[in-house]
Every structure is written in C-alpha cells, then in structure tokens.
C-alpha cells in the first residue's frame, strides 16, 4: 500500500504494507513455479512509525506474516531476521522483505 508523501501513516500501515508485500511475493513465487513453503530465509526491514514512538511495528508485521507462514495450509516458517531501518527507497514505505527460496 502506498501513501502520499507527507501524509500521516494510518495506524495499521505496517500490517497493510506487509500484507501487500506477502501477496506480491506469493504471486511472484507462483509465477516461478514455487510457493511460500519454498521460502527458506527472510530478511525484513521495518521503518519506525509514529504510533510506536518511532520504533518498528513488529506486531503489525507479525499479524501479516502469520497469515502466510506457519499456517495449517503452509506450515513452513523460514529463518528470518528483522531490522529497524531509518528509511526505505520511498518515503512512505515502512516494510521491505528480501527472501531466498529454493526449488524442492
């Protein structure tokens, strides 16, 4: 989800953006003949948000993450690291995820 530069971020910006990132990731993997269960490593970059006094919103990210990983349909939970960063390529982005997937 993209927001206008300079506009306030909604309270659930991290969750919304993470859901968008994961849905896009799923679609890209599907196009490559892979699935979310093929993701073995994840590096997450989160920007601090005003609603968390400038800290990253891990709970918002985790709510989205658990809809795609560690579910009954897709039990894989890749190794991951989560880092807080000062900013991302676009000013209103608060979530960026890099993954490594392998073919079975």
10 pLDDT tier (thresholds 50, 70, 90):
confident
pLDDT at 2 over 60: no
What DSSP element (H or E) covers 98? Answer: strand 95-101
Q: What is the pTM of this model?
A: 0.91
Helices (H), 32-90: 58-65
Please give the order of strands across the beta sheet that includes 95-101. 79-85, 39-47, 95-101
Domain boundaries, the chain: 13-101
Of 54, 50, 55, 46, nearest to 14 by C-alpha is 46
**Half-sphere exposure at residue 33, Cβ-oriented, CA atoms within 13 angstroms:** 3
Q: Please, what is the average pLDDT of the chain?
A: 93
pLDDT confidence tier of residue 8, bands split at 50, 70 and 90: confident
Per-residue model confidence as pLDDT tens digits over 54-99? 999 999 999 999 999 999 999 999 999 999 999 999 888 999 999 9
Assign a CATH topology to domain 13-101. 60s Ribosomal Protein L30; Chain: A; (3.30.1330)
């Amino acid at each position: 989800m993209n927001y206008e530069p300079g506009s306030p971020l909604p309270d659930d910006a991290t969750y919304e953006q993470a859901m968008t990132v994961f849905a896009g990731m799923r679609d890209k993997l599907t196009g490559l003949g892979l699935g979310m269960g093929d993701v073995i490593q994840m590096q997450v970059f989160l920007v601090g948000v005003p609603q968390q006094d400038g800290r990253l919103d891990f709970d918002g990210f985790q709510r989205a993450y658990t809809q795609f990983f560690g579910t009954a349909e897709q039990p894989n939970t890749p190794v991951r690291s989560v880092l807080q960063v000062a900013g991302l390529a676009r000013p209103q982005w608060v979530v960026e995820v890099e993954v490594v997937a392998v073919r079975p």
